Amino acid sequence: MTINAHRASFYALALAMLAAPNLALAQDQSPEQQPEQAAPAAGGLDEIVVTGRASASELRKAEASFAITTLNDATLRMSNPISAAETFKQVPGFWVESSGGEGSNNVRSRGIPTDGFSSVALQENSLSVQYDGGLGYMSPDQSFRFDETIARVEAVRGGPASIFAPNAPGGVVNFITRRGTDNPGGLVKYTWGDYGLHRVDAYYGTKLADDWGVFVGGFYRQSNGLRDMGFKAEKGGQIRATLNYEDGRNSFLLDVKHIDDKTPFYLPTPFTFDGEGKIIDVPGFDGRRGTLAGPENRRVPIKLVGRSFEFDLTEGSHTVSTQLTVEGSFAASDSVTFETRTRYRDSDMQRNAVFPTGSVQTLAGFTQSIRTAALAAFPGATNLVARYATDGAPFDSSSNGNGLVVGGNLLAVSIPIRELITDNRFTTQFDAAGTHSLAIGGTYGWFSYDYEREMGTTLLDIQDNARRLDIVAVNAAGQTVGRVTDNGFQRYGSLFDDAAMSVRSYALYAGDEWQITPALRLDFAGRFEKIDITGLVAKKRTVNLGDPTTLADDQVITAATGFDRVDRSFDDWGWTVGANYQFSSYAGVFARYTDTFRLPSAGEYNGNPLRTDMRSVPIKMAELGFKYGSPLLNLFVTGFHTKFEGVTFTDNVFNSQTNQFDQRFVVADTKTLGLEVEAVIRPVRFFDLTVAATWQDPQYKGFVYTEIVNGQPVLRDFDGNQLMRVPKLALRAVPAINLFDGRFRTELEVEHYTKRFPDVANSQVLPAYTVLNLNARAQLTEQLALSANVTNLTNEIGLTEGNPRAGSFIGGDAGARYFLARSIFGRTVRASVSFRF
């Protein structure tokens, strides 16, 4: 189905959703519909947790033998996160980079050395949104949007997560949706933001009969984006409809969700230093709200072999997806239950963005680096001059107040994917030296995708919404005799990939929770998994398009005759054992050891079909925890140790001389020792304090390789260095005031992160930073509520990553006066009004 056809179906569904409130007015409002004002996130010790386990018995949060955080409905409404990744910030143990926007963010847990969601499972109703979260340019948060249909969140770090979910050694974050049998009633919510945001959320759910319920909900919004691109960069929404049955013994759910949504993908921007060494904005550029992407690169033709490809920046990260989920729980007898969950999705994902590449340079420095080759290419040329590509206006060392230039890759990636995931298990309870809750099950995952990647490398100036530059060769009379660039392109067709991949995964697992005494419980679980990866990857060749007046078309990468075949299989097994001892109903200790794995991803072969270094990565994790709950204090403290063995690290460095990426691979270990603390203190009724803190010492082990520098071998030894981009201390403290019998609540979020490094060598520092956010919510009547969220009150520059395209082993920007880095967003204000019925 085409994107336009998908869009038409989306709007039809949206109209149906907006009609639902009219039907709702005829329904009686039950007490279950009354809004609950916000409560601290670490509360709810009596909550029944369902994530990270497979069992027939109920388990309270206070009795879990693993680290789990729950975020209830009131907490989510209070913080009003703009993305799935933003919710992770409320969970200790996670390091989250949400500076990429609503999708394609990076999440790490307890010393995970890989990016994206490659080792953390994003789930919706206890089933992975995407079986493999490590596929290139296909993070699962691209196919997931947080909205008012989400009722609560459960997050498990480490522990049993990797046994009962695929690709989840770092943990599972499970977003649980509202259901009609919960009788949630209806809601309409409008949100305004100071970056051109207009958003409407709505839902309605009710019981059709005692055991049947129906629910429909979703959102639609548009905005200029948190970094202004000069056009409507965010546009779209989602809708879901759910039918469910629940009688206490058996349950059934049918859920259909459709997404048609465009969001920008934000990338590093330029920064510099003041006289005291403090990081500041480059003159002419706002590092908090600005972006190099802009209207001039909104639609640009890229010359390729036999055709021209139109790069369309307005597509951004465009996801058009329809998913169908069926789940059920059926009591075969008084002691045996069959549980099943199956999801199929059909998605088309387009990722178009301007990726700054190389390093920021002065115009003089850049022209000097290419001068010899450029003048030799055009006989009679004596000098190089810079002009704007669109209007020919001159560019010099004083332009924009900085005279700086940077490479810009106009990258377009298209990935249609079809995926089926099914998880089925039998659970039973029986008595034998205590009570056993046993589960035996399996997961099957199949997905196939096409991967098409096109790119052209441009030269950009440095300003908000950068413009393309041309470098032309002139003779002594100032006449043009040749063009180094063409329409701002240094190289047409600087990247090309065309792959078709298919993956089948099979997993068997079993687990037993053994309640030996009322105070002591042991649990054991194991998982065996096998993955088969097959596919075809187009061979490549380099072609000169034949224009003698420019160098930009001399090396266009395109398809060659034939394909390289991928046919790989991997398997491994893991296990976990845990013990929990309860001193009382609300105080206990637990210990756990997990020996697990991470199988290779099909995404590793998209551009490297012949690589032979991929294998299963062994992972070992140990944790020891204490938990306590009382009206005054809820406290969860977990110490952990994590080791990844034989991880393949990849360094993709953009070579400014060849305008292409050079790759290097190193196999090494990582080791992390850390402590998580989660607490809520309630000294008086009108005040509470929530604290989530993680201290860790994440290190590379055995990261040693030899590099050829100026023809000579140089040994690089980074053993013991801090894991890139992960802080040793992440602290989130939220003092809050509750007034008027809890009908008004205001929170000040204080987030502090210690220094980090953007490269394995730890050669460049990303300084420590503190960010303040303010949340407020007023329940004016039983139906009407107002809320406001102000992020980054002090407009702090907080760098979350450096310039990975200049080197992630050894940063290319280390020691430079000007450098690229991705910062958190500047101060933003959002305000909402919601009406329940």
β-pair partners for 572: 529
pLDDT of residue 4: 47
User: Is the pTM of the predicted complex or chain greater than 0.75?
Assistant: yes
Band of residue 44 on the pLDDT scale cut at 50, 70, 90: low
Cα–Cα distance, 630 to 279 (Å, whole number): 45
pLDDT of residue 442: 97
Q: Which residues contact 336 (CB under 8 A, 6 or more apart)?
A: 426, 427, 428
The average pLDDT across 118-133 equals 94
CA 806 to chain centre: 22
Q: Is the pLDDT of residue 3 over 60?
A: no
Six token digits for residue 724 = 């890139």
pLDDT of residue 28: 34
Band of residue 678 on the pLDDT scale cut at 50, 70, 90: very high
The average pLDDT across 736-751 equals 96
Determine the 3-state secondary structure of 603 from DSSP.
helix
pLDDT of residue 95: 85
Strand 394-395 to 383-388 pairing: antiparallel
Q: Is the pLDDT of residue 799 over 60?
A: yes
Cα–Cα distance, 87 to 726 (Å, whole number): 18
Band of residue 831 on the pLDDT scale cut at 50, 70, 90: very high
Q: Is the pLDDT of residue 18 over 80?
A: no
Write phi, then psi, for 613 (nearest 5 degrees).
-90, -5
Six token digits for residue 361 = 């340079």
Cα–Cα distance, 87 to 97 (Å, whole number): 11
Q: What is the pLDDT of residues 534-566, one digit of tens each?
A: 999 999 999 999 999 999 999 999 999 999 999
Q: Is the pLDDT of residue 570 over 80?
A: yes
Q: Is the pLDDT of residue 32 over 50?
A: no
Sign of the alpha-carbon torsion through 162, 167, 170, 176: negative
What is the rounded end-to-end Cα distance, in angstroms, of the chain? 37
3-state secondary structure 7-76: HHHHHHHHHHHHHHHHHHCCCCCCHHHCCCCCCCCCCCCCCECCCCCCCCCCCEHHHCCCEEEEECHHHH
pLDDT of residue 65: 87
Among residues of the chain, what percentage have pLDDT more than 70?
94
Residue 553 Cα distances to 177, 180, 549, angstroms: 51, 59, 10
β-pair partners for 90: none
Q: Is the pLDDT of residue 16 over 50?
A: no
pLDDT of residue 687: 96
pLDDT of residue 136: 84
pLDDT of residue 49: 82
Strand 769-779 to 784-791 pairing: antiparallel
Of 27 and 712, the structure prediction assigns the larger pLDDT to: 712
Contact at 8 Å (CB) between 495 and 411?
Answer: yes
What number of other Cβ atoms are within 10 A of residue 705's Cβ? Answer: 17
Six token digits for residue 474 = 């002139």
The average pLDDT across 301-316 equals 95
Band of residue 656 on the pLDDT scale cut at 50, 70, 90: low
The average pLDDT across 156-165 equals 87
Contact at 8 Å (CB) between 314 and 321?
Answer: no
Q: What is the pLDDT of residues 402-455, one digit of tens each?
A: 999 999 999 999 999 999 999 999 999 999 999 999 999 999 999 999 999 999
Q: What is the pLDDT of residues 65-102, one digit of tens each?
A: 888 888 999 999 999 998 888 888 888 988 888 898 88
Decide: residue 454, CB within 10 A, 0-12 exposed, 13-18 middle, 19+ buried: buried
pLDDT of residue 34: 40
Domains belonging to the chain, first-starting first, are 3-836 (2.40.170.20)
What number of other Cβ atoms are within 10 A of residue 333's Cβ? Answer: 7
Cα–Cα distance, 127 to 324 (Å, whole number): 12
β-pair partners for 779: 785
Write phi, then psi, for 736 (nearest 5 degrees).
-140, 150
Under DSSP, the state recorded for 733 is E
pLDDT of residue 605: 94
pLDDT of residue 657: 66
Q: What is the pLDDT of residues 260-295, one digit of tens each?
A: 999 999 999 999 999 999 999 999 999 999 999 999
Q: What is the pLDDT of residues 579-628, one digit of tens each?
A: 999 999 889 999 999 999 999 999 999 988 998 889 999 999 999 999 99
Q: Is the pLDDT of residue 480 over 70?
A: yes
Average pLDDT of every residue of the chain: 91
Cα–Cα distance, 205 to 242 (Å, whole number): 9
Q: Which residues contact 376 (CB under 8 A, 6 or more apart)?
A: none
The average pLDDT across 631-643 equals 94
